[in-house]
Amino acid sequence: MSIFKRTPKPVDLTTLSDAELVEMARTEKGAFGELYERYVKRIYNYVYFRTGSPHDAEDLTARVFTRAMAHIGQYTDRGLPFQAWLYRIAHNLTANWHRDQGRRKVIPLEDYITGELMGDSPDHLVEDEEELEMLRAAVRRLPEDRQQLLLLKFVDGLSNTEIGHIMDKTEGAIKSLYHRTLTALRDELQGIASGDSDDDARRKQR
């Protein structure tokens, strides 16, 4: 019989997997805090580039984590990793935000007519912010699932498998969608460069 009462050794949350943290988070807020630390920047970035506003990104990020914490008890890992679940919440809230806004900022294509994005020599590298904004504007005109795919790829640096979990598609389907998306984007940019009308560019995109 031990005469000394042993205090349990504190668990180092940073060493635990997402699945273990989710289990703990059902009863212990500290575990959710660790999940928050792991994903807050990624979710913020995803929402920021979907909304284009830092204030809305903060508001929506807060809502994502508040909702996740409230529903963590209902989350079950049936092949859907926690990360994918969190992104789905972010995606749904952002989609609602776009619906509530009821409008999308439409930037006239003629403001951005340029061919530099399509060149291959170093002289033709995308140089200034105006051209990058043209590219972002072209991405904003893509269908929502394609925008989501590009952001998950470029902003969050996720693999096709991880993106597949979030978008509920196979890895092969994501690869194919990514190819089609880049082709549509390239065609749109070529259209802008060659002076196509806005309607023509949109028709090509479809």
Partner 1 sequence: MRVQTPLPDALTAMTDSLIHGQGEADMRRAAHNAPAEAMTYAPMLRGMARAYTPVEPSADFMRDLKAELMTGKKRPVHVKAAIVLPRIHPTGWAFAGGFATLGVALLVLRWIGGVFAARNQPRPVANR
Which residues contact partner 1 by CB under 8 A?
29-30, 32-33, 36-37, 40-41, 44-45, 48-49, 54-59, 61-62, 65-66, 69, 117-120, 124-126, 131-133, 135-136, 139, 150-151, 153-157, 159-160, 175-176, 178-179, 182, 185-186, 189
Here the tokens at position 131 are 């051209």
The distance of closest approach from Cβ of residue 1 to partner 1 in the complex, given in angstroms and rounded to an integer, is: 38
The distance of closest approach from Cβ of residue 43 to partner 1 in the complex, given in angstroms and rounded to an integer, is: 9
With respect to partner 1, which residue has the nearer C-beta, 1 or 143? 143
- Total H helices, total E strands in the chain: 9, 0
The distance of closest approach from Cβ of residue 112 to partner 1 in the complex, given in angstroms and rounded to an integer, is: 13
Closest listed residue to residue 67, CA positions, set 45, 46, 43: 43
C-alpha to C-alpha distance for 163 and 167, rounded to whole angstroms: 6
Among all chains, which residue has been given the structure tokens 């972010």? Answer: 90
With respect to partner 1, which residue has the nearer C-beta, 26 or 124? 124
With respect to partner 1, which residue has the nearer C-beta, 6 or 155? 155
Closest listed residue to residue 146, CA positions, set 109, 113, 177: 177
Please, what's the largest Cα pairwise distance for the chain?
A: 86
CB atoms within 10 A of CB 30: 12
With respect to partner 1, which residue has the nearer C-beta, 95 or 125? 125
With respect to partner 1, which residue has the nearer C-beta, 92 or 176? 176
* 5: helix, strand or coil: coil
The distance of closest approach from Cβ of residue 180 to partner 1 in the complex, given in angstroms and rounded to an integer, is: 9
The distance of closest approach from Cβ of residue 109 to partner 1 in the complex, given in angstroms and rounded to an integer, is: 17
The distance of closest approach from Cβ of residue 58 to partner 1 in the complex, given in angstroms and rounded to an integer, is: 5
Task: Please report how the helices 144-154 and 82-101 are oriented relative to each other, as an axis angle in degrees rounded to 10.
Answer: 130
C-alpha pair distances (Å), 173 with each of 169, 177, 203: 6, 6, 23
Here the tokens at position 2 are 């031990």
With respect to partner 1, which residue has the nearer C-beta, 84 or 153? 153
